[in-house]
Homo-oligomer: A and B are copies of this chain.
């Protein structure tokens, strides 16, 4: 009995090909890695070998259409990419490296096979960039929005875990990359005409839009911060810098002072906010689409070469008090 029929027409509605063909499509896209995956996609569950001598990081995060994305501003491929990226960011924030993903795809009947293929392409792109193996998942139809829900495991050394709670009074706060970039990208998309949305003319604005659609989780930096034990506490900026600073500080039992003049807000983002009558600092710290890492560093290490070095990914903010 053949379990699937080949899917050739990307414009075919998913309801016409059935669940089994879609599973075959997913299985073909994610062949797994025999070294790590004893049983892959297609059985009741996946079976994997744990990472030797490591603890396991476990996280889940969902992107919901109408809440976290709009298919007017992001392609199905962007949505797939971002859905895995936001989970990779959470694992990085614990000092872990990501390993195995489970995809829970909740698909509206209006979707085409080609949309699902694009979604899988985006997931595969992020999986390749971050070294993630898709181990399994679940498909179900949605009577409402498209939802891409990902569960991700990772590995972290027993004494290399970065929590939110390890900060101490006097620590310096750093953030990777820039803030407000994703929020500016979304602002721009919301006010751009339909025909412009693909390609903003100003390069800096184009960067904001790309960052909004496809955030780059700080996987390597999180892993290095954990291994080097340079950071006392760490978390990612999924809900914006303002929220993250409050959460990191209160988890650590401290307060924090932020010097607004030292916030790494890109010029293009400032321009987008000003053009729309928004205060750039407020918009940037409230913006929730930066998947950067916020971390605290003990005073004596804050001036070290590693942190102020050539990467340019870290910027001192202010000290916790």
Contact = CB atoms under 8 A, between A and B. Distances in A.
A50 B56 contact: yes
A94 B60 CA distance: 22
B39 A59 contact: no
A145 to B, nearest CB: 5
Nearest to A2: B250
Interface stretch (A135-143, A257-265, A266-274): A135-143
A46 B58 contact: yes
A19 B251 CA distance: 17
A3 B247 contact: yes
A91 B44 CA distance: 7
A58 B102 contact: yes
Given A1-B250, A39-B161, A44-B93, A140 B64 contact: yes
B1 A64 contact: no
The copy count of this chain in the complex is 2
Contact of A142 (B64, B89, B102, B138): B64
Given A136-B58, A151-B151, A44 B143 contact: no
Nearest to A48: B56
A104 B59 CA distance: 10
Given A3-B247, A48-B58, A136-B59, A94 B39 contact: yes
A210 B227 CA distance: 51
23 contacts: A1-B249, A3-B250, A38-B161, A39-B163, A42-B251, A44-B94, A44-B234, A45-B93, A47-B58, A47-B156, A50-B55, A50-B56, A56-B153, A58-B136, A59-B102, A60-B151, A61-B104, A64-B141, A65-B143, A67-B140, A104-B104, A106-B147, A153-B153
Given A38-B55, A47-B161, 7 more contacts: A46-B58, A50-B54, A58-B136, A66-B143, A106-B149, A144-B145, A149-B149
